[in-house]
Structure 1
């Protein structure tokens, strides 16, 4: 048989919401840069948010496009995240795959209904989980080896077994599906076990022992950090969706600051912090006497309250005016160009919720972190940042929260101030964290270049898909 000359066709089916959608769009762009024909599947509403992200690639001649379904997912509060029902796309997806079967389809793990359709049609199905190897290992080992019901309380620490590093956690830091497995059938894990493999947004040198473990258990291709495909200012500005703030105002403010002098504060697109916690953050930042840029976004428990009142009403009286007058702080609301901010020479630290995308973006920018995990796998990510990589300090968050659940305990202003000073004020410990993260940032960039581990894994997946195509024609 003659060798196959046509490029591999890959479909990418992201879930709604920035934390899942953005990295899969980047992944599609990565594989297009390796010569695969990449098609992103989306509804018209969600395609609008990222069409500018691929425009430059298309103009450069890369084989990447968008297929829009005629159906539409209801536009809900994105704090619903994984509970958003996308099954209205079931029949449109089936018809598309029947008409035009690709060599593979990369599916977000939250499209729980989609794998059965893909598997019935014999198309190679790849899982995109949106997190790294370390949290995956932590979750698996707790599920398989820890009797959580034997712990005396939610705050009793236990050691996660069978890891290369000693990692202690408490039950209160674990996702609800680990604490109450009977409430959440293990369907996602079963579907992943039947898949062709997993595409992981990480890089080998970030978590080598954990990457080795993941690859032993199941086929996995570690191809990140995918955010590094955003090379131009325009790419970084429009990544995800157009910014809702004046990015020039933001950059002008940063340009007025000395190098390595500003703390960037952001809790991601899903976080909903109560008004009382907002005030504690504000008081702590002000007391630290460090310059900061704080992207507030929609962070109230009740979204309608947020739209009606604006989060500014819940900051301490006169806080923003004092920050403007002293030049110490800039408070922003809406969607901000995070990559541009993190890479700015003025940024010295990053207070983050430890979402995997933000974690990788902080690492790639060479910026040490203040960790404030809230939900998902973020407490595991905190352990990676502060205890394995040693490139961050903990603020003191102790309880895993559902996106809109009530907070039982606030992180006080004193803890906020202490963490900020520990990271931002010159010390041997702070300088060592900066040195480590700068070193890791260099490894991240080398990983995605030709000859790097992530570059090689992307190429290896394409070659494996080509071999699968040839075998199916024999």
Structure 2
């Protein structure tokens, strides 16, 4: 694809500020769980006086318009840059610009291959900048940025979205030949991951890693090479949560690891919280908050499985019946595509009628950060995406863990076995976009897990206590003098142009 002049989608700041001494260009992978933390990072970099540019596609830029406008009103030097996507000949629909728009598992490979074609427009954008950016921060899943950074002599860091615990397991597995051993082993064989401070065992089904499917091997090799040639890594975590894993990860990588999270806590007001998701989420926040305001403190179970995984009707019904039978107040997010079938819509309407006042079903996207920060929410049934899990931890909310794929089984182990803030639902096999009907979670499993999470007793009380303690530590990490705050100070300074440092 020939380099194309990108469209800059930015709102001019309403306040005049001195020219920033540094410029960070952030390139998230086009999935909500990857975009959101890097947008949060862009904003806090801008708050520290740096210029921050988020490079994405037109559909994702439209979704982020609220966040960009909020930053502009605050006079922050944050902008969005759009690169044309998808390229001609990709075979993808024009709106397939985010992983949550992939219609089936067979679109993943064309999707990733199409993303490679962004390298040309990205190169054109960066070459046109004067002066050149101080640093490019690109998602681990965007190795196509590496060549651009190298050719222009710009420092490049990679952002890895999962927990540091997962990232360490993934790196150790790669460096110590675990993938090769597992490839020839039996499906039920258990294998220890070497070099991790806590015992970790895996099977062929949940071996750590992104892009590990056979048809994605070339893409994974590119990502691993880009990781090895990067100048460092940014991670969304904090030292009081994952300190021992951070130390091991940095030692094994042999390059700086910047722990700057929880980035979600950079959202310090209701407007920023609402604009963090889609515009629809911002519009829905008022009704959801009004419902939560009517519930008792700590009484509501929030249920959401991220932006990608989709459940077939049979599994949806099991979840709904389990929530109904639990007797607990619940707020359940069901994707629009999941609720599209007439029988599902009718069933959800009937469920809401039977649980009127106690249950609320949100069809579409919910403002998750606003929900988790509400006093009424006492537990979260989650798919264990790191964004979701860290948001729960940052707000002192214990979780029911229901991992689906990739890093999520390791995030579950971190939450349950290491941190002590989670109750496992009991799944052991991964699924992709659509739930496999051969590995359903029954309504009894939902009832059991919700009862353990929300009930009384020593174990439940201890989970809640630990969750609140980690929530307090998370807040302190992001405050002035905290570990992540001070890491960010050093981070910005290390990429400040030399001429600015001299003045």
TM-score (ref. length: structure 1): 0.90
Residue 123 of structure 2 is matched in structure 1 by 94
Q: List runs of 5+ in structure 1 lacking aligned partners.
A: 301-305
Change (3 A) 1:249 1:356: same
**1: distance between equivalents of 2:260 and 2:108?**
24
Residue 11 of structure 2 is matched in structure 1 by none
Residue 38 of structure 1 is matched in structure 2 by 52
Is this contact kept in 1: 2:309–2:432, CA < 8 A?
Answer: no
Change (3 A) 1:286 1:137: same
Question: Is 1:198 aligned to 2:233, yes or no?
Answer: yes
Is this contact kept in 2: 1:7–1:36, CA < 8 A?
Answer: yes
3-state secondary structure, aligned to 1:173: coil
Residue 9 of structure 1 is matched in structure 2 by 23
**1: distance between equivalents of 2:278 and 2:125?**
26
**2: distance between equivalents of 1:161 and 1:71?**
41
**Residue of structure 1 aligned with 2:165, choices 134, 140, 147:** 134
Question: Is 1:78 aligned to 2:113, yes or no?
Answer: no
Question: Is 1:174 aligned to 2:207, yes or no?
Answer: yes
Question: Is 1:349 aligned to 2:349, yes or no?
Answer: no
Q: Deviations over 1:194-217 (max 9, x none)?
A: 111111111111111001112222
Structure 2 counterparts to residues 55-70 of structure 1, below 5 A: 55-69=69-83
Report the more deviating stretch, 143-152 or 373-382.
143-152
- How many residues are treated as equivalent by the alignment? 458
3-state secondary structure, aligned to 1:243: helix
Is this contact kept in 1: 2:260–2:487, CA < 8 A?
Answer: yes
Change (3 A) 1:227 1:380: same
Residue 338 of structure 1: CA displacement? Answer: 0.6
Q: List runs of 5+ in structure 2 lacking aligned partners.
A: 1-18, 88-93
3-state secondary structure, aligned to 1:116: helix
**2: distance between equivalents of 1:48 and 1:177?**
27
Residue 158 of structure 1: CA displacement? Answer: 3.4
Is this contact kept in 2: 1:247–1:337, CA < 8 A?
Answer: yes
Residue 458 of structure 1 is matched in structure 2 by 488
Question: Is 1:226 aligned to 2:291, yes or no?
Answer: no
Structure 2 counterparts to residues 365-376 of structure 1, below 5 A: 365-376=395-406
Structure 2 counterparts to residues 113-262 of structure 1, below 5 A: 113-143=144-174, 144-146=176-178, 147-149=181-183, 151-153=185-187, 155-174=188-207, 184-185=217-218, 186-216=221-251, 217=253, 218-244=255-281, 246-262=284-300
Report the more deviating stretch, 83-92 or 230-239.
83-92
Is this contact kept in 1: 2:22–2:495, CA < 8 A?
Answer: yes
Residue 16 of structure 2 is matched in structure 1 by none
Is this contact kept in 1: 2:22–2:134, CA < 8 A?
Answer: yes
Residue 173 of structure 1: CA displacement? Answer: 2.3
**1: distance between equivalents of 2:153 and 2:445?**
54
3-state secondary structure, aligned to 2:335: coil
Residue 391 of structure 1 is matched in structure 2 by 421
**1: distance between equivalents of 2:152 and 2:108?**
25
Residue 6 of structure 1: CA displacement? Answer: 5.5
**1: distance between equivalents of 2:332 and 2:31?**
21
Residue 140 of structure 1: CA displacement? Answer: 2.1
3-state secondary structure, aligned to 2:64: helix
**2: distance between equivalents of 1:227 and 1:181?**
34
**1: distance between equivalents of 2:307 and 2:70?**
25
Residue 138 of structure 1: CA displacement? Answer: 1.5
**Residue of structure 1 aligned with 2:352, choices 320, 326, 348:** 320
Report the more deviating stretch, 37-46 or 336-345.
37-46
Is this contact kept in 1: 2:312–2:434, CA < 8 A?
Answer: no
Change (3 A) 1:72 1:159: closer
Change (3 A) 1:355 1:41: same
Residue 112 of structure 1: CA displacement? Answer: 2.9
3-state secondary structure, aligned to 1:39: strand
**1: distance between equivalents of 2:195 and 2:84?**
48
Is this contact kept in 1: 2:163–2:236, CA < 8 A?
Answer: yes
**2: distance between equivalents of 1:329 and 1:95?**
51
Residue 401 of structure 1: CA displacement? Answer: 1.7
Question: What is the aligned-residue RMSD (CA, Å)?
Answer: 2.5
Report the more deviating stretch, 405-414 or 364-373.
405-414
Is this contact kept in 1: 2:330–2:358, CA < 8 A?
Answer: yes
